Amino acid sequence: MQFSAKVSDISKQRSACAIISADAKNRLSSSGAALDKATGEIIGKVLKRGDLGSKLGSTLTLNLVEGPAERVLLVRSDEGVLSQADFRKLAKASANVAKGFKDATSYLTELEVADADSAWQAQQLVLAAGLAAYKFTRCLSDAKGNPLAKFTVHAPDSKQLKAVQRGVDIGAAQALGSNVARELGNLPGNICNPTYLAAEARTLAKKHATLTTTVLDDKKMASLGMGAFLSVAKGSDEPPALIAMHYQGGKSKGGKATDKPVVLVGKGITFDSGGISIKPGLQMDEMKFDMCGAASVFGVMHALLELQPAINVVGLVAAAENMPSGRASKPGDIVTSMSGKTIEILNTDAEGRLVLCDTLTYAAKFKPSIVIDVATLTGACVIALGNHATGLYANDDELAKELLAAGERTGDRAWHMPLWDEYQSSLDSNFADLQNIGGREAGSVTAACFLSRFAEDYTWAHLDIAGSAWNSGANKGATGRPVPLLMEYLLGK
Ligand code: BES
Ligand code: MN
Ligand code: ZN
């Protein structure tokens, strides 16, 4: 999809759909009023009739017989200054209708939003449009996507055009990255396996000069002593892969990027059956989404390549399939991680932390400024936070704050969870240095505690996206979260 910013005269702008708002008293913004005038006050009459619902975010499409805009999409806003959350509602609601037309121009930047400028508005409008237009068609025999191909955002005046354009570019990159993550997430486990993910990374590196990729196979992992990672893949016929994608946009001296990278680590369990501690059958299909952390790392890489910011980012993807078999790990097995710490596997369904702990140890090799892992790690996180917030843990309060703020700005929110020492003892084992599960309580916290034992040498955060990475039910599908949060954070650095 093509996104752009423009100071647009609505009475002349050709468009399949012009998006304008009416407040609670049916008052139009300035472009809306101009269009109303140019169309013989048709819009005003329709509003007076009461055809547009009164609830914020209600929409009504008017098909115009004449004029440069073929349709007007009316959205109900409110009087005065809108909250950011309300503006996002308008952005979403209008995008959900506009996705059905071949192009659209949004004039919602004329609204006033608390603590936000038109660049922020543009970013949110574009992100919402990009997300709304996405459709998973790859496995359909009739692969028809949404028609929306061009989305234009009105810049209220020429002074703001440059800033609005930047907002558009960032929103477009966040949408692209999110949709890359959604596509990988939605692909079934029989297509998207660790080998598939490795091939994706190699293809990406071939296309872009600023990206290099390396893939470690099981032999290489064994030589590095990654006994925890490999124990997860043992039960599967699919070989595991530890994928490293190195984006180098940072300052370079003699061709070598010198700034310390941010390392992102994604959990890439391409299917999580639970292993010998097998899961119940209900909704087990959704465990194809257990690589959404990895998918978000791919999404961020795509978004970075789009924007080419002057930073260095390493994306590590811990890819494996968790299956039961005669070769699979058994409860009680003890493995030695790359760090040297031994782990008693009391539950083979707590596999994410096993692939992640060795990947976190491996991450130190890149001398990172910061490490952030992203994982669909615990069902307990879904119980605690539902699907609205990502669970955020960090061994550094400053980093936690920055990530929370990044999520707030782009509407991809996280919630700070405790990583207190008091929780650590639940991982004590009688037979090894630690065990891979805590008790029944605080399951998301104890999983984070487990990871923290392997992230002691750098500043680190962990995002538990078990609730936020995908929707269940009628809207089943990957959300692309937390790509917007991560991009917002990386660009804000
Ligand atoms: N991938 C799951 C976590 C999960 C479950 C995410 C349901 C979203 C929905 C993870 O590998 C897992 O199975 N975790 C266990 C941990 C337990 C055995 C300590 C869980 O949450 O039940
Ligand atoms: Mn599991
Ligand atoms: Zn899992």
Ligand 1 atom at minimum distance from 437 CA: 19
Please list, in sequence order, all residues whose beta carbon lies within 8 angstroms of the beta carbon of residue 134, skipping any fewer than 6 positions away.
146, 175, 178, 179, 182, 183
Which residues keep their CB under 5 angstroms from ion ligand 3?
A: 269, 272, 290, 352
Is residue 170 over pLDDT 90?
A: yes
Q: How confident is the model at residue 66 (pLDDT cuts 50, 70, 90)?
A: confident
Give pLDDT, residue 258. Answer: 78
Is residue 123 over pLDDT 90?
A: yes
Closest CA to 300 of 177, 414, 391, 415: 177
Reduced to 3 DSSP states, what percent helix, strand and coil does the chain have, rounded to the nearest 5? 40, 20, 40
Is residue 428 over pLDDT 70?
A: yes
For ligand 1, mutation pick of 270, 276, 287, 378 (most atoms within 8 Å of CB): 378
Please report which helix (H) or strand (E) contains residue 433, including its range.
none
- 379 touches ligand 1 (CB under 6 Å): yes
Fold of 2-153: Leucine Aminopeptidase, subunit E; domain 1 (3.40.220)
Task: Encode 409-440: b = buried (16+ Cβ within 10 Å), e = exposed.
Answer: bbbbbbebbebeeebbebbeeeebbbbbbbee
Beta bridge partners of 28: 22
Compute how many other C-beta atoms are within 10 angstroms of the C-beta atom of residue 45: 12
| H-only helix segments in 337-386 | 352-363, 379-385
Q: How many CA within 13 A on the CB side of residue 45?
A: 6
| H-only helix segments in 386-432 | 397-410
Predicted confidence (pLDDT) per residue in 185-212, tens digit: 999 999 999 999 999 999 999 999 999 9
Separation between Cα atoms, residue 162 and residue 174, nearest integer Å: 19
Separation between Cα atoms, residue 386 and residue 468, nearest integer Å: 8
- 469 touches ligand 1 (CB under 6 Å): no
Q: How confident is the model at residue 251 (pLDDT cuts 50, 70, 90)?
A: confident
Predicted confidence (pLDDT) per residue in 293-305, tens digit: 999 999 999 999 9
Ligand 1 atom at minimum distance from 351 CA: 11
Dist. CA 151 → ligand 2 center (Å): 40
Dist. CA 141 → ligand 2 center (Å): 32
Is residue 429 over pLDDT 90?
A: yes
Is residue 22 over pLDDT 70?
A: yes
Dist. CA 469 → ligand 3 center (Å): 13
Q: What is the mean pLDDT of residues 2-16?
A: 97
Fold of 179-491: Aminopeptidase (3.40.630)
Tell me if residue 279 is catalytic.
yes
Mean pLDDT score of the chain: 97
Ligand 1 atom at minimum distance from 469 CA: 8
Give pLDDT, residue 271. Answer: 99
Q: Do domains 2-153 and 179-491 have the same CATH topology?
A: no
Please list, in sequence order, all residues whose beta carbon lies within 8 angstroms of the beta carbon of residue 281, skipping any fewer than 6 positions away.
none
Is residue 65 over pLDDT 90?
A: no
Catalytic residue among 353, 413, 453, 481: 353
List C-alpha distances in Å: 46 to 40, 63, 92, 107, 345. Answer: 12, 12, 23, 19, 66
- DSSP state, 24? T
237 Rama class: left (phi>0) / alpha (psi -120 to 50) / beta = alpha
Dist. CA 293 → ligand 2 center (Å): 14
Separation between Cα atoms, residue 178 and residue 172, nearest integer Å: 10
Give pLDDT, residue 255. Answer: 60
Give residue limits of the domains in the chain: 2-153, 179-491
Separation between Cα atoms, residue 294 and residue 287, nearest integer Å: 14
Dist. CA 483 → ligand 2 center (Å): 22
Give pLDDT, residue 421. Answer: 98
Is residue 254 over pLDDT 80?
A: no
**Is there a contact between 489 and 477 (Cβ–Cβ < 8 Å)?**
no
Nearest Cα residue to atom 3 of ligand 1: 378
Catalytic residue among 6, 27, 135, 279: 279
Separation between Cα atoms, residue 41 and residue 48, nearest integer Å: 11
Ligand 1 atom at minimum distance from 436 CA: 19
Ligand nearest to the CA of 378: 1
Q: What is the mean pLDDT of residues 419-446?
A: 98
| Percent of the chain whose predicted confidence (pLDDT) is above 90 | 97
- 349 touches ligand 1 (CB under 6 Å): yes
Structure tokens at 101: 């037309």
Predicted confidence (pLDDT) per residue in 316-371, tens digit: 999 999 999 999 999 999 999 999 999 999 999 999 999 999 999 999 999 999 99
- 464 touches ligand 1 (CB under 6 Å): no
